[in-house]
Structure 1
Amino acid sequence: MRSYNQYCSMARALDLVGDRWTLLIVRELLTQGPCRFSDLRRGLPGVASNLLAERLREMEANGVITRQDEPPPIAATLIRLTDRGQELSGVVRELTRWGAPLMLEPPDGDAFRMHWFTLPLRHLCRDGSPDQPAVTVRLGDLHDGCDIIADHGQIQVLPCSTARQADATVTAPPQVLVALFTGLMTLPTAQTQGLVVDGSSAALQRLLPEAGFASG
């Protein structure tokens, strides 16, 4: 591990989590929860297996992650954040917020995974009809997506599950979803830009923010 050799809390923190891929690994574990090595790789396109293994060893040595062997029916080693690692959620949230304005025009060739929206959506969405019955809006699908649940004023954004029936399933180019959920584009406009709603458009409208995340 390389060090800045500075007696400064920011420099010390970057000694541990400033290497390439480390915070994206944290993002995946905050998004997916405890998961297998293969699950991490699927969420980190472009990382080599040996580099991912090296980063995980460093993170484990630094107390950011831990591994746990799960019995059947899982029968696999799961990687999870420690309590100390979970404290990075605020750092990831603020980096997501800071980077939101950079998301409106994706460069050609950039990889994209729908489940990457999970963390920002937890802060972007609101329940605009808290007195109405709960709704679930699915972005993407069971393989790569997330479920947004609005229930009596509370918002949850979780990995997609067969245990939930979606009131609406939404697909769209990523930049359209960014504009929609940051308040820079209305739902009718988004639908002219490639957004497709299978189910209740009202359920999706209920979740949209009143103010732009990118500006706040």
Structure 2
Amino acid sequence: MLIVRDLLLGPQRFVDLQAGLPDISPNVLSHRLRELQESGVLQRRTLPPPAASRVYDLTTWGAELAPIVTALGLWGSRTPIMPRTGEMRPNSLMLSLRSTFSPSDEPDWSANYEIRIGADTFCVRVNRGRLTEMARGPAAVPADAVIATDHKTLGLLVTNGEDLETAVGSGRMTLTGDIEAARRFLAAVGL
């Protein structure tokens, strides 16, 4: 499920998957990827030039696991016994934001966002108050607002260990472009 979780936001190379799952050996990861390929959950393909990298990507059938993985994440986040220590990685942070997004009935809220977590970039699209896209990589269209931070700060915000004004005021999070649109998105995900 952790491999599926890390592929929910788009394809990844083997080294990217390994970096996101530091407690798994390369041999075990290779074995799990092969099993998931054989069962039709993911596929291995080559990206078009100039990247031309070999990546793993969920199949249509594998992508149907998204609500299950999201539900498990929400369930696990409310655990009464597990300590809230450790760092959340960018993929987990973005999936956390997706799972806590509260749709709006305001049809005038449509915006493109770019969220930068350290060296990782994600694009987010809200259309008519609904989250319609969240994927790894820069937005195909210009972003209305850019939210930039590091994974530790966003992790603190997600777990209510810090408030938004403190993160922005300290300079550990920056909001550029349409600041009100950025704040609207962050409010919709509970930050």
TM-score normalised according to structure 1 size:
0.66
1:47 counterpart residue number = 24
Distance 1:140 1:131, change over 3 A: same
- How many corresponding residue pairs? 184
* CA distances 1:13-37 after superposition (whole Å, capped 9, x unpaired): xxxxxxxxxx110011112x23321
2:120 counterpart residue number = 144
2:182 counterpart residue number = 204
Q: Which runs of 5+ in 1 are unaligned?
A: 1-22
What SS class does the counterpart of residue 182 from structure 2 fall into?
helix
Identify which of 84, 88, 94 aligns with 2:65.
88
Identify which of 72, 77, 92 aligns with 1:116.
92
1:73 counterpart residue number = 50
Distance 1:202 1:82, change over 3 A: same
Identify which of 148, 160, 164 aligns with 1:170.
148
What amino acid is the match of 1:28?
Answer: D
* CA distances 1:79-105 after superposition (whole Å, capped 9, x unpaired): 222333222222101111112235996
Q: 1:181-200 residue pairs with structure 2 within 5 A?
A: 187-188=164-165, 191=168, 196-199=173-176, 200=178
Q: Which runs of 5+ in 2 are unaligned?
A: none
Identify which of 29, 32, 45 aligns with 2:7.
29
**Matched residues in 2 for 1:82 and 1:76: separation?**
18
**Matched residues in 2 for 1:189 and 1:162: separation?**
27
**Matched residues in 2 for 1:112 and 1:178: separation?**
10
Does residue 157 (structure 1) correspond to residue 134 (structure 2)? The answer is yes
TM-score normalised according to structure 2 size:
0.73
Distance 1:192 1:131, change over 3 A: same
Cα-Cα RMSD: 3.5
Higher mean Cα deviation, 37-46 or 200-209? 200-209
What SS class does the counterpart of residue 60 from structure 1 fall into?
helix
What SS class does the counterpart of residue 96 from structure 1 fall into?
helix
Task: Confirm or deny: 8 A CA contact 2:115 2:123 kept in the other structure.
Answer: yes
1:98 counterpart residue number = 75
